Amino acid sequence: MPDPQPTHVRAPHGPLPEGGTVRPITRWGTPVMHRPQAAVTTYDDALASLAADMVATMYAADGVGLAACQVGEDLAMFVFDCPDEEGVRTVGVVCNPVLTLPEGKDRRLDDDDEGCLSFPGSFESCARPSWARVDGQGLDGEPVSFEGDGMLARCLQHETDHTLGTVFGDRLSAKARKRLGKKHDAAAADYPPGWPA
């Protein structure tokens, strides 16, 4: 998801890993993008290195979140640096995310534009609950939990979807998905193969 750049940062489980290498972003249509990802079971230096690469790639692409499948890795993990409704950024890494959404009278939909770094240059309105929480594990296997509203809620839902093999286009009507595809095709020259590496 693309990034608007607010200032205050909240890191309840520590800062994002640094020193990674920017990788090409995997596109929609690649098999790894459309199947549930393997659970993270080993918390080691290789996982930390992958997370650092994901962070570097997310920032190089001006995104607010990136799942492991978006760099071609079949692992249920994502990184994010995303603002909430008040503009406060939250940063984190989540392995094996489990999403909690409001139900009943607490459930309100936010029908805002959404985009995906794996289908770059195109945005379309996608209704999602206006609040979300994700629970999972951090890079050392410790429990982590993140919650929020606004774009942060959308990001937590979008990235958890990736770990389940769902892209946000799957949540659109056929007509909206066709519009999204036309915008993507029109912007294709700005996102050549290998982007953003």
Contacts (Cβ under 8 Å, ≥6 apart) of 101? 107, 129, 131, 132, 157
Catalytic positions, please? 159
3-state DSSP call for residue 189? helix
Pairing between strand 109-115 and 89-100? unpaired
3-state DSSP call for residue 33? helix
* Cα gap 118→74, rounded to integer Å: 15
Contacts (Cβ under 8 Å, ≥6 apart) of 5? none
Contacts (Cβ under 8 Å, ≥6 apart) of 172? 124, 126, 180
Bridge partners (DSSP) listed for residue 148: 132
